[in-house]
Chain A
C-alpha cells in the first residue's frame, strides 16, 4: 500500500514538474494567427498528457528497477504474478475512453480553425520550383511577396505549376500541401503585425530548402495603401509596365532575360526569332505569337519544353497587360 502512495505522489509531482519545464523552454514560435489560439491550447492539453503519462510510466519503472533489483546474495525468483483481469480491463478501458475524448477535442479544434468568413480577402497563390507568387483578384494586383491585413481572414486559393509544395508559416501554425492540377484552399487570420516567412513544407526538389518567401502582416490602413500603390504603380510606358508585370506575375521565375534556359524558353532575343514547335513546324515569334504564348501557351508548345506547365493567365491578364508584356519582351534584344 505504502508503495502505491509513494508512486502516486511522485507521479503527480513529476507531471507538474515536467509540464512546467516543457512550458518554460520555449517550444513554440510566436502565435500570430487566430488559428494558433485553439491549436496551442490543444498542444497544451497534449503537453499535460505527455507529462502525466511519462511520469506515470517512468516513475513506476525507475521505482521498480531500484526497489525490486536483485540484492547481493539473494536467490530465487520474483513473485508469481500472472495478471489481473480487472486491472487489464481498467488499463484498456480508461485509455480507450481518454483517446475518444481526445479525438473529440481534436475534432472540435479542427472545426474551430476551419471557420469560414465569407468576407475573407481572396489571394491566389501560385507555387512552383522554387518560388511563391501571389495575385489579389479583387484588386488586380500581383506580387512576389505576400502582404496581409491584420485581423482579416485571408482565403488562400493555391495551385502548383509543377510538383507538390506546401504553404507554411510556423507562426500561423496551419499548413496546406499544394497539389498541381487542382486548387486547394487554406484560410487563416493573422493577428500580429510583423514580418514572417512562408516556408515550403513538402520536399519539392533540389532547392526545397530555399523555397521561402516574405509574409508581411500590416495594419488594414497600411494594406489599403499598399494595394493602391501597387495598382497605380503602373509606369508610364508599356515597356516599363510590362517589365513590372513580368516580375509581379512570376513570369521571370520560369523565363529568363539573359538567355539561360529555365522552366520555359528565354525571352532574350525571342521577339522576331524563328521558333521550332513540338509539332515540327517552325514559326516566327511575331506579336501575335507572343500574345498567344501568354494566354494560350498549350496551342504552340516550343520544342524541348512541356505542355501544361505554364499557369493559365487568360483570365488573369487583360488585353492591356498582355500588350505591355509583349512590348517588354520586344525590348530584350
Chain B
C-alpha cells in the first residue's frame, strides 16, 4: 500500500478523486448557504473537476518546491540518477524524463483518439445507423478531434522539451519545475476531457460552437474545462522553451547557428504562448453562459454567436501551425543527415518558420467564410491565407535542394520524413481551394476539409513524429528500434493513409458533409466509405506494429550507444542513452550546423578539461 502511494501517478490520481469529491461537496454547500437549491449536477461537476485537477498536481508533488519557497525555505534538486524506472511515474525535473513522459502521454492519447475514430469509421462504413446512437456518434467524433489535438500538443511538447536543451548544449530547460508542472497538468486535463463521456457526452464537434454548445449535455463542460487546463500547460511549456532558447545556448551558438529544430520550436512557442489564451477564454465564456446565464453568445439576450467563432479561431488557426512547425523542423533536421548535405538555404528555412507563425495570426477568418461574418472581411482573409503558401513553399523547395546531389540512404526515420513531405504536400496543395472564398463555399463543412486537415496533420505532425521517435530512440534508450518492423509500420501506414485522405476529399466534393453519423445513399459514396474504413484500420495496424516494436526494442533492440546516424548535431557527439546532465564537458559552436560535405568542418567542439 505504502509502495503504491509512493508512485507519483497513483498518488496524484488518489488526490484527484479526493479533490473532485471535495469540490462537489463545497459547491453544493455554497449553494445551500446562499439559498439556492443545493444540487446542480453541472455546477458540481465543473467545480469538482477543477478542484480535482488542482489536487492532482498537488498530490503528485508538482508544486511541492514552490510551496517550500513560498514558505521561505530553500529547495535543492534531488539526484535523480538513482531513481531508476520509477522516475517516469512521478515528478522528475529532468527534461529528458519529462520529454518521454509527454511522449508516452501523446501516444496514449493518439491511441485513444484513434480508437474513437475506428469505432465511428466502422459505423460509417455503411448507410443507416449500425450500432451507434446519434449522441454516441457525435460524442466520439467530437472527442476524436479534441483528444487528437491535445495528443498533438503533448507530442509537440515531448519533442521540444526532450531535444531543445540537448541541441543548445544546456543541462536542462530554463525552468525545470515549471516543465514538470506543465506536464503533470496535462494528465488530469486529459482525464477530465475523457470524462465527458460519462456525463452525457456532447454533440458539438471539437469546435464547440454556441448556441449548440450552450444547450449541449453536461459533458460539454468537461470538454471545455479539460481543454482550458491542457491549454494552460501548453502556455507554460512554451514559455519555458522560449526562455531556454534565448538564455541557455552554448558559446558561439548565434541565431543562424542554431539547429533548425530550435527555430521551429521558437516559432511554435511564440504562437502557443499567446494565442492559446483565446481558446481558453472563448470556452470559458460559454461555460459562464451556461453556469451564470451570461448571454455573450445568446441571441435572445442580444449576444453574438459569431463573436465566439472569432475568438475561437484566433487561436485555433495559429494552433495548426503549432501542430506542424515542429514536425517540419524535424524533417529539416533529418534530411541533411540522410542526404549527407547541408540544409539548403538554412537561413531562409529558419525565417520561414517565423513567417508562417506571423502570417498565421492573420488568417483565422478563412474558417468563417460561410459564417455570416462581416462581408468586407472575406477578401482580406483570402489574401492573407494564400500568403501563407509562400514561406511554406520555401520549405519544400529547400528540402528538394537538400536532397539534390546528395548521397541518400533510407533507414526508417528517413522513410517517415519523406512520407511527411509527400503527405504535407497533399495537404498544402488542397489549401488554396479552401482559401478562395467562392470555392470554399462549396467545400466548407464537407469531407474535403477533413481530408485537407488530416493530410496536413499527418504530414506535418504524425509522420515526422514517428520519424523523430525512430531517430532519437537510441538517444533515449541506448538501443535501436527494429528496422524490419519499422518498415512494416511504414508500408502499412503511408499508402493506406494517402488513399484514405484522397478518397475523403473526393467524397466531400461530391456532397459528403462532415460530422454526420449517417449519409444519403444517393450520394454514391458508400463504397468510398468502406475503403476509408479499411484504410483507417490499416493505419491503426501500422501503429500497433510500432508500439510492439517500441516495447520490444526497449529491452531487446540492437545496442546503439554511439553516433549511429553520423549526425553533426551536438547530442549525437556524446554517448547514448544521453548522460544525466547532458554534457559533462560543455561545448562551443565553431562551425555551421549542417556543413555536411565540407571536409574538416566541425559544428561543435568540446572544451578542454581545465
Contacts and interface: CB of A to CB of B under 8 A. Distances in A.
Q: Touch between A and B in complex, CB under 8 Å?
A: yes
Interface of A: 25-29, 38-39, 42-43, 46, 49-50, 53-54, 57-58, 60-61, 64-65, 68-70, 74, 76-84, 87-88, 91-92, 95-96, 99-100, 102-103, 105-107, 109-110, 112-113, 162-164, 166, 168, 170, 173-182, 184, 197, 199-210, 212, 306-309
A201 B300 contact: no
Given A46-B432, A113-B438, A164-B305, A180 B510 contact: no
B501 to A, nearest CB: 14
The 6 closest A-B pairs by CB, nearest first: A181-B299, A106-B436, A78-B406, A209-B516, A308-B300, A80-B597
A179 to B, nearest CB: 5
B339 A181 contact: no
A77 B340 contact: yes
Given A61-B422, A77-B340, A201-B446, A206 B135 contact: yes
A76 B340 contact: yes
B211 A82 contact: no
A83 B394 contact: no
B520 A95 contact: no
Given A39-B441, A80-B342, A95-B393, A64 B135 contact: no
Contacts of B432: 46, 49-50, 102
- Interface of chain A: mostly helix, strand, loop or mixed: mixed
Contact of B510 (A29, A103, A179): A29
Contact of B439 (A42, A77, A166, A184): A42
Interface in B341-396: 341-342, 344-348, 370-372, 378-379, 382-383, 386-387, 389-391, 393-394, 396
Contacts of A49: 429, 432
B548 interface: no
B11 interface: no
Contact of B347 (A58, A83, A96, A99): A83
> Which of A38, A78, A96, A109 lies at the interface centre, i.e. has the most chain B CB atoms within 10 A of its CB?
A78
B394 A206 contact: no
A174 B205 contact: no
Contacts of A105: 436
A173 B211 contact: no
A50 B347 contact: no
B410 to A, nearest CB: 7
A170 B135 contact: no
A223 to B, nearest CB: 24
Given A60-B400, A68-B403, A91-B397, A110 B378 contact: yes
Nearest to A170: B511
A306 B299 CA distance: 13
B382 A77 contact: no
A180 B211 contact: yes
12 contacts: A29-B511, A39-B439, A60-B400, A78-B341, A80-B596, A102-B436, A109-B436, A163-B215, A197-B520, A203-B212, A209-B517, A308-B299
B460 to A, nearest CB: 15
B386 A99 contact: yes
Contact of B370 (A26, A27, A176): A176
Contacts of A307: 300
Contacts of B94: none
Contacts of B442: 39, 43, 170, 173-175
A70 B409 contact: yes
Contacts of A200: 513
Contacts of A210: 518
A91 to B, nearest CB: 5
A61 B445 CA distance: 33
Given A110-B378, A166-B370, 15 more contacts: A39-B442, A46-B439, A54-B425, A64-B403, A79-B341, A87-B345, A95-B389, A103-B386, A109-B439, A170-B511, A179-B306, A199-B520, A203-B204, A205-B212, A209-B517
Contacts of B588: none
Contacts of B514: 203
Nearest to A105: B436
A81 B595 CA distance: 9
A152 B378 CA distance: 26
Contact of A184 (B134, B372, B441): B372
Contact of A65 (B138, B408, B517): B408
Given A179-B372, A181-B305, A209-B516, A81 B299 contact: no
A177 B372 contact: yes
Given A80-B596, A105-B436, A110-B437, A199 B409 contact: no
Nearest to B506: A27
A175 B436 CA distance: 14
B234 to A, nearest CB: 25
A110 B511 CA distance: 21
Contacts of A175: 370, 441-442, 444-445
B552 interface: no
Contact of A25 (B134, B410, B506, B522): B506
A267 to B, nearest CB: 24
B401 interface: yes
> Which of A65, A106, A179 lies at the interface centre, i.e. has the most chain B CB atoms within 10 A of its CB?
A106
A175 B134 CA distance: 24
A302 to B, nearest CB: 16
B603 interface: no
Contacts of B348: 83, 88, 92
A79 B599 CA distance: 11
Contacts of B515: 203, 208
A212 B520 contact: yes
Contacts of B215: 162-163
A58 B393 contact: no
B563 interface: no
A180 B299 contact: yes
A286 to B, nearest CB: 28
B430 interface: yes
Contacts of A205: 203, 212
Contacts of B344: 81-83
B200 interface: no
B519 A176 contact: no
Contacts of A95: 389-390, 393
Given A77-B341, A205-B212, A61 B400 contact: yes
Contacts of A180: 211, 299, 305
